[in-house]
């Protein structure tokens, strides 16, 4: 009886410890966002006080107005939203179709092509910037146009490999064979079998792709200008003065984070379902 109680006590203690660690991790993860909100609602002088202020002030709307007045953040957010949404839709579609082909279809040279795709992930992005800029500027005349951001990112090797690995286990060969016996074409199998089964992984890939496209700074800095900026270029303009107003910089960062948070809220359920499904299979 005593042993049973001690085991129960140990289990309860372990459970409380786990919740304590998780709670601390959540607080540490949310604190930067909370501090951004605090700084965005204060003046530049107030956020440099010692000890630091930890409660939001009353200047949030004023700072937001100042950010939109000093920069073209509205155009930048529209541009980034168009680019991130288009790139996400393209990457998810091409990666799902390509992942299905490499996972379940048999064709000549499949392993060689897959190895070639994976090998491109080992090439640093910086090595391709100069030839890519020459193509965008001289061949297609897309410099300072959104096409220069969308087309090079419309498909990527990571997404294809990610979806291939997921579909290998998520779509059994027996299910595809049963669909073919019922007269379903390959296109029908993709629509009725593959896409429903791949929805959790597509949501995860979509979230990762949207965040990467939204936060991209290096390539937009090369090919775009402040006349047609993205969000990250506009935020860099806010922080480029000799005397930086960090309250305005963090206000811009807070406003720019809103679409990413909305995207996570919209896809969060599918992401959690995908994680739980993978844990169950494991």
* DSSP track, the chain: -HHHHHHHHHHHHHHHHHHHHHHHHHHHHHHHHHHHHHHHTS-TTGGG-SSPP-S--S-HHHHHHHHHHHS-HHHHHHHHHHHHHHHHHHHHHHHHHHHHHHHH---TTHHHHHHHHHHGGGS-GGGGHHHHHHIIIIIS--TTSTHHHHGGGSS-HHHHHHHHHHHHHHS-HHHHHHHHHTT--HHHHIIIIIHHHHHHHHHHHHHHHHHHHHH--HHHHHH--TTS--HHHHHHHHT-SSS--HHHHHHHHHHHHHHHHHHHHHHHHHHHHHHHHHHHH-
- Between 11-15, 35-39, 277-281, the lowest mean confidence (pLDDT) is in 277-281
Residues 202-231 have a mean pLDDT of 91
- pLDDT tier for residue 271 given thresholds of 50, 70 and 90: low
Residues 125-132 have a mean pLDDT of 89
Tell me what percent of the residues of the chain surpass a pLDDT of 90. 38
Residues 152-156 have a mean pLDDT of 93
**CA proximity to 79, closest of 227, 226, 230, 225:** 230
- Structure token pair of residue 214: 């939204």
Tell me what percent of the residues of the chain surpass a pLDDT of 70. 89
At 142 the pLDDT is 93
Most confident of 1-10, 23-32, 267-276: 23-32
- pLDDT tier for residue 1 given thresholds of 50, 70 and 90: very low
- Predicted model pTM: 0.84
Residues 189-211 have a mean pLDDT of 89
**pLDDT by residue (tens digit) across 52-68?**
888 888 888 999 998 99
Residue 220's alpha-carbon distances to 80, 194, 226, 256, in angstroms, are 10, 34, 10, 16
- pLDDT tier for residue 12 given thresholds of 50, 70 and 90: very low
At 8 the pLDDT is 46
Residues 136-148 have a mean pLDDT of 93
**pLDDT by residue (tens digit) across 62-95?**
999 989 988 888 999 999 999 999 999 999 999 9
At 270 the pLDDT is 67
- pLDDT tier for residue 14 given thresholds of 50, 70 and 90: low
- pLDDT tier for residue 9 given thresholds of 50, 70 and 90: very low
At 136 the pLDDT is 93
- Between 44-48, 132-136, 276-280, the lowest mean confidence (pLDDT) is in 276-280
């Amino acid at each position: 009886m005593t042993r049973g109680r001690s085991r129960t006590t140990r289990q309860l203690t372990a459970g409380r410890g786990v919740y304590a660690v998780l709670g601390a991790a959540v607080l540490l993860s949310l604190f930067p966002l909370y501090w951004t909100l605090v700084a965005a609602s204060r003046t530049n002088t107030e956020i440099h006080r010692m000890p630091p202020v930890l409660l939001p002030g009353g200047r949030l709307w004023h700072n937001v107005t100042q950010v939109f007045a000093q920069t073209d953040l509205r155009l930048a957010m529209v541009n980034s939203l168009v680019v991130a949404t288009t790139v996400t839709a393209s990457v998810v579609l091409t990666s799902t179709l390509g992942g299905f082909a490499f996972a379940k279809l048999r064709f000549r040279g499949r392993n060689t092509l897959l190895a070639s795709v994976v090998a491109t992930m080992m090439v640093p992005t910086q090595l391709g910037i100069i030839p890519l800029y020459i193509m965008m500027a001289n061949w297609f005349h897309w410099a300072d146009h959104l096409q220069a951001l969308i087309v090079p990112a419309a498909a990527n090797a990571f997404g294809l490999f990610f979806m291939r690995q997921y579909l290998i286990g998520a779509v059994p060969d027996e299910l595809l064979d049963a669909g073919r016996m019922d007269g379903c074409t390959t296109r029908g199998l993709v629509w009725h079998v593959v896409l429903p089964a791949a929805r959790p992984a597509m949501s995860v890939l979509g979230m990762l792709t949207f965040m990467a496209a939204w936060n991209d700074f290096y390539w937009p800095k090369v090919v775009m200008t402040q006349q047609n900026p993205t969000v990250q270029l506009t935020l860099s303009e806010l922080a480029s003065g000799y005397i930086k107003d960090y309250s305005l910089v963090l206000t811009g960062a807070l406003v720019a984070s809103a679409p990413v948070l909305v995207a996570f809220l919209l896809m969060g359920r599918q992401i959690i379902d995908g994680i739980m499904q993978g844990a169950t299979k494991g």
